[in-house]
Structure 1
Amino acid sequence: MRRLKHRLPVRLRHHWKVVAACGIFFAVLVGLVGTSRVAPIVTSDERADADVVVQDIPGTVDLFDTSRPHELTLSYSPVDYERMLDQYWEDGDKEYLEADLVVDGTRIDSVGIRLKGNSTLSGMTRDGQTAPRGFGDRGEEGVRVGPPAGGAAPRDFGQAGGGFRGGGMGGLRAEEPENLPWLVSFDEYVEGRRYQGRTEIAVRPATGMGGSTTGLNEAVALSLVAASGEPSQRYTFSTFTVNDRPTVTRLVVEHPDRTYADSLPGDGVLYKSQASGQFADQGDDQTDYQDDFEQVNKKGSQDLRPVIELIQWVGSASDAEFAAGLADRVDTASFARYAALQNLLLNFDDMSGPGSNYYLYYNLDTRKFTVITWDLNLAMSGDATQGPNDAGRMGGFLGAGPGGDRGQPPEGFEPPEGFQLPEGFEPPEGFQPPDGGPGPGGGMRMRGHQLKERFLADPEFKKVYENAYRDLYQRLYASGAAATAVEQTSAILKAAGANASTVDSEAAALRTLVDSRTKSLATDEVITRK
């Protein structure tokens, strides 16, 4: 029953009484009409999206204009908030909470907000206890990453100042909603409403993941993805106030919604990979893929069939067929840049990481897929000497290079089954890793992705990847663009009201990482090859 419930859209769960009444009406209608023939009339183009904009709120200034200060204020019923948490603690459902939002002086009543993320939320505590379900949980066979289920998580787990900075999945408390990751929906309770053309925005977490409590590393990474020419997301920094809680400065990111999909090249369909999902053939029934991919736009005219066909082909094609046919299905030049970017930015949690963070965009004109980067809060951290062909993994302190201090976990910390620790980590005396846990020098286990693995294993596609890597290294690192992005982004963050001392500290660590990475890669044979 729980699996069936998850397949029901949120709006259907909200308005089930109306749906039930309609069902009764149609049952009566069938009884009256019987076998009479009804001929449907289709008037819309097969590519049309049923989405209708009723109200588009202009606001006072462009939310993603980083040259202007921004303010976000949320207010909601504490009783409703506790009810939402009860639901999440009970079965992991991220239900929407109705709230009022003020954006840069413009009041917007009845927006929907819900918790956002999986790995980020896995260590969240409520009254000192973690949720009974962790990141990546798919039931009894799932692998949980985070503090032990139902157990107490140390206050500094995963936070700046804590011993396990940059490698943690926790540090969030339900009692501090101003630090939680939120998805804000403008049309969840008011159909057809937009704010500056958008249906959703994401308020990113303040957890210390990736070694940053300010979001500086993610903002820099987003800037570099945009500079590469690959699809990225716009961002800004804003003060953020929730009810009567203290005001903080948070990173706000454009969420890949229907408007975002329309901004991508050509006419196409956007699909989000689910964190608990998989890229594996499960047959032809589209309902069997509901836990794996979510269709973002064109829901009235398109479906999951293109994704399913790609999955089935990648899984069944011989090496020769894969080499000959991939370019007919995937924009291989763009995919090479995507893969190169994840390595250059030290983003271990990409499409092959434990969070399965990526979108697929299917261009209806070219009939090809593009892989889109998403969720970079773990980027720009880890080992600066990671080479073009080295597998990524979760690093330690932001900017830690070889021999750098990767930090230690809180005393007595015991990671759950399936969790692996960064290289150089020394567990407390007497610690026994669970079965399948980390060995010496282990990093967090990568999930893997068949499309990416087969692409990089093919000799010809490997050349395309390395050429893209060489080009992007010159454009992003050797040119000084990454160093400039650190300076510009830290200035924006300070202007938005973030603690200057914290920003200076994180910016210094990022400068060290960028400098070390630039010098280390400069002598790599992929870069020096003529």
Structure 2
Amino acid sequence: MATKPRFKKLRKRLKAVSATAAVLALAVSGCSTSGDSATTGMVGTSITGAVDLFDATAAHTVSLVWDEADYNAMIASYESGSDKAWISADMTIDGTLINNVGVRLKGNSTLRSLGGDSSGAGAGAPGGADGTMPTDLPTDMANMGGGKGRPGGTPPEGFDGTLPTDRPTDMAQMGGGAPAGGMGGMGDSSSISFDDPASLPLLIRFDKYVDGTEYEGLTQLALRPGSPVINEALALSITAATDQPTQRYAYTTYSVNGSDTQTRLLLENPDESYGESIDDGNSVVFKADAESSFTYQGDDLATYKDQFKQLNKEDTQDATPIVAFLKWLDAADDATFDAELANYVDVDSFAKYAATQNLLANSDDMAGPGQNYYLSYDLTSKKISVISWDLNLALSGNATASPDTSLSMGGGGKGAAGTGKGGNSLKTRFLASTSFKKLYDAAYQELYTKVFSDGTATSLLSTITDSVPVSDDLTQDEIAAKAKTLNTFLTQRGEALEKALAN
């Protein structure tokens, strides 16, 4: 039977646990962690909850119980090598107990604030881990190592070499997204801590240890970081309201091993059934890894297997169409790109995707450092579309960015496989092409009318705010304050876009 310590005090990390011991502990952690009667445990169990998990009108509760030794081993594994190891837990959703589910840490830039050998604290953002820029930057070019003006030369006429003193102090002022905890009602991922297990972002797999187990047709759920992250919920709802594929979500109160409750966003994590839901089962869906490279790397499909994980139809389809497109993209000059892109990509859908990411001020889309996107290949049209994912930086960055402003945090160009530095040649070249500008502008105008002029965004915000539950760590006043902040952002964004689109 699992112990149920209350994490009221800081967890004392088991620094003495070696990496080998951590691996051994995880290897034997597939047992149940609760003595309560099990709802599942048999191979192929399909579980129906007491209420629909994604019913926004229902109050949801979620709790996890795991063995603390397993948890410590999982954390030791991440701290020693940034490995996201699995442990077993018992999960209760709205009163329904599911024994022996798989749980692991989830995220990339979010987790970097916690350290880990391959990432380093704060590696996800320039400046500090919270997105704040250094305050001790040089005030003149001579102090930047190149002499006054340019290296070995004189400054331009009329320039004395002094740099502006009103440089931006945070990423939100730089035209990209705000760091976690910025505007838009976003939770603060810098508040996550291994000493507070309930604060961590997690991936939950119902079938990790018991094959065939599903909960309401789902095999996976993502527990998102931060609270209450109203901006992410609103971005998901806006995407759905504009007839684009997205992911379902629910707000819930949440606890670990009897801890105080927190308010968290629970999101469906795309799996095989999700892939089959796209285009009525007529598409093959691929998840881009955070360390993937959107470049042609030869014809060997094995090279791309981990970079673009296939969700569905693995028995009959593979990544050949994706590789063929990357090969064409790598060789195409600008004229060829303009003339032939529509043979490979659903350009209407892509224009809408790109316009949506800008309208939402999302700085971490397919071109961001997290490379957050899915690719969908339609077996009938033989064309590729892009599906958005991980919108926790949406509606939290530069509210005044124009439709032509680049909001991506990563650099462009062709990185080597596995660099994970962001940038995406398809998006960069599409937005730079005059041939596709009319298509992009038309998609943007349609989105603006629907989301802002017709009041969809503010209406959705009101509905979402009403669905956010209070918890031990979140009061009604705090929810109202977050919603007010996001409403201010929407007003600023709408006004800025109205002015930009009128020109």
- Of the candidates 420, 430, 437, which is equivalent to residue 455 of structure 1? 430
TM-align CA RMSD: 2.8
- What is aligned with 2:73? 83
Matched residue SS, 2:111 = coil
The 3 A distance-change label for structure 1 pair 224 and 258 is same
- What is aligned with 1:374? 389
Q: In 2, are the aligned partners of 1:241 and 1:248 still within 8 Å (CA)?
A: yes
Structure 1: state its 5+ residue gaps. 1-9, 16-52, 125-129, 138-142, 150-156, 207-212, 395-417, 420-444
- Of the candidates 271, 280, 296, which is equivalent to residue 257 of structure 1? 271
1:106 matched to 2:104? The reply is no
Under a length normalisation based on structure 1, what TM-score does the superposition of the two structures give? Answer: 0.71
- What is aligned with 1:362? 377
- Of the candidates 119, 139, 144, which is equivalent to residue 134 of structure 1? 119
Deviation at 1:218, TM superposition (A): 0.3
Deviation at 1:393, TM superposition (A): 5.1
Deviation at 1:116, TM superposition (A): 0.8
The 3 A distance-change label for structure 1 pair 488 and 495 is farther
Deviation at 1:136, TM superposition (A): 12
Q: In 2, are the aligned partners of 1:121 and 1:135 still within 8 Å (CA)?
A: no
- Of the candidates 333, 336, 341, which is equivalent to residue 348 of structure 2? 333
Q: In 2, are the aligned partners of 1:135 and 1:145 still within 8 Å (CA)?
A: no
| Partner AA of 1:131 in structure 2 | G
* CA–CA separation in structure 2 for the residues paired with 1:313 and 1:170: 41
1:245 matched to 2:259? The reply is yes
* CA–CA separation in structure 2 for the residues paired with 1:514 and 1:70: 28
- What is aligned with 1:270? 285
* CA–CA separation in structure 2 for the residues paired with 1:135 and 1:272: 25
- Of the candidates 449, 464, 469, which is equivalent to residue 489 of structure 1? 464
Q: In 2, are the aligned partners of 1:186 and 1:195 still within 8 Å (CA)?
A: yes
Structure 2: state its 5+ residue gaps. 1-22, 29-42, 130-169, 172-178, 412-419
- Of the candidates 499, 509, 521, which is equivalent to residue 475 of structure 2? 499
Deviation at 1:188, TM superposition (A): 0.7
Matched residue SS, 1:108 = strand
* CA–CA separation in structure 1 for the residues paired with 2:91 and 2:75: 20
* CA–CA separation in structure 2 for the residues paired with 1:101 and 1:63: 14
Deviation at 1:133, TM superposition (A): 2.4
The 3 A distance-change label for structure 1 pair 496 and 60 is farther
1:56-93, CA deviations, whole angstroms, 9 ceiling, x for partnerless residues?
11111110000001111101111111111122122222
The 3 A distance-change label for structure 1 pair 94 and 384 is same
1:54 matched to 2:44? The reply is yes
* CA–CA separation in structure 2 for the residues paired with 1:321 and 1:147: 40
- What is aligned with 1:72? 62
- What is aligned with 1:475? 450
- What is aligned with 1:198? 218
| Partner AA of 2:225 in structure 1 | P
* Identity within the alignment, %: 40
| Partner AA of 1:193 in structure 2 | T
The 3 A distance-change label for structure 1 pair 93 and 300 is farther
- What is aligned with 2:182? 166
1:323 matched to 2:338? The reply is yes
* CA–CA separation in structure 2 for the residues paired with 1:506 and 1:446: 31
Deviation at 1:253, TM superposition (A): 0.9
| Partner AA of 2:257 in structure 1 | N
Deviation at 1:461, TM superposition (A): 1.2
* CA–CA separation in structure 2 for the residues paired with 1:507 and 1:75: 32
Deviation at 1:304, TM superposition (A): 2.1
Deviation at 1:179, TM superposition (A): 1.1
Deviation at 1:288, TM superposition (A): 2.0
What pairs up with 1:28-47 in 2 under 5 angstroms? none
Q: In 1, are the aligned partners of 2:60 and 2:252 still within 8 Å (CA)?
A: yes
1:422-478, CA deviations, whole angstroms, 9 ceiling, x for partnerless residues?
xxxxxxxxxxxxxxxxxxxxxxx9821001111112212121111100000000011
| Partner AA of 2:454 in structure 1 | S
Q: In 1, are the aligned partners of 2:251 and 2:469 still within 8 Å (CA)?
A: no
* CA–CA separation in structure 2 for the residues paired with 1:321 and 1:264: 30
Q: In 1, are the aligned partners of 2:66 and 2:89 still within 8 Å (CA)?
A: yes
* CA–CA separation in structure 2 for the residues paired with 1:446 and 1:147: 16
Matched residue SS, 2:422 = coil
| Partner AA of 1:505 in structure 2 | A
1:177 matched to 2:197? The reply is yes
Q: In 1, are the aligned partners of 2:180 and 2:190 still within 8 Å (CA)?
A: no
- What is aligned with 1:425? none
* CA–CA separation in structure 2 for the residues paired with 1:246 and 1:495: 12
* CA–CA separation in structure 1 for the residues paired with 2:128 and 2:471: 36
| Partner AA of 2:492 in structure 1 | S
- Of the candidates 111, 115, 127, which is equivalent to residue 121 of structure 1? 111
Matched residue SS, 1:311 = helix
- Of the candidates 228, 232, 239, which is equivalent to residue 242 of structure 2? 228
* CA–CA separation in structure 2 for the residues paired with 1:146 and 1:179: 24
| Partner AA of 1:62 in structure 2 | D
Deviation at 1:296, TM superposition (A): 1.5
1:344-383, CA deviations, whole angstroms, 9 ceiling, x for partnerless residues?
0010100001110000011122211110010011110122
* CA–CA separation in structure 2 for the residues paired with 1:83 and 1:523: 54
- What is aligned with 1:439? none
Deviation at 1:303, TM superposition (A): 2.0
- What is aligned with 2:502? 528
Matched residue SS, 1:359 = strand
Matched residue SS, 1:170 = helix
Q: In 1, are the aligned partners of 2:376 and 2:384 still within 8 Å (CA)?
A: yes
